[in-house]
Amino acid sequence: MRERYHEELDAVHDQLVELAALVTKAMVRATTAVVSGDLDAAEEVISQDAVIDAARDDLDARVMSVLACQQPVATDLRTLVAALRVSADLERMGDLARHIAEIARMRYPSVPLPAELRPGIEEMGRASRWPPR
């Protein structure tokens, strides 16, 4: 029984990492779209938003299942509650990336940002990456 419990906790961790990777990719592609006017990058971010939403829903369902079936306490309970909170924040970041991509798509074929703002936005995009590079 405890082995299954630990497998479920590991799966929550793995899903959270996967969700973070999806959101990171969306943020990088949205930055590319808005800085360079890349329509393909914008379309990719917009289409991947549903994947991010589904990944968040799957993660939240798994966490709720572990909470209901295993009744964790102490550190494990805090970890699961934190996973719920982080998943909500990551999903919102994905929504913001989609919004940025939609702006880039609306402005196509022109570049949405003035040239003097591009270096700052590119730096913010680099700072938002996970893992940091």
pLDDT digits (tens, 9 = 90+) for 59-114: 999 999 999 998 888 999 999 999 999 999 999 999 999 999 999 999 999 988 88
| Per-domain boundaries in the chain | 2-127
DSSP string of 31-90, one letter each residue: HHHHHH--HHHHHHHHHHHHHHHHHHHHHHHHHHHHHHHH---HHHHHHHHHHHHHHHHH
Q: For the chain, give the percent of residues with pLDDT over 90.
A: 77
Give percent of the chain above pLDDT 70. Answer: 96
Map tokens 């939609």 to a residue. 102
Can you give the pTM of this predicted structure?
Answer: 0.90
Q: Which fold has domain 2-127?
A: Methane Monooxygenase Hydroxylase; Chain G, domain 1 (1.20.58)
**Number of residues written out for the chain:** 133
Q: What is the mean pLDDT of residues 13-31?
A: 95
Given a cut of 70, whether residue 58 has pLDDT beyond it is yes
What distance lies between CA 123 and its chain's CA centroid? 19
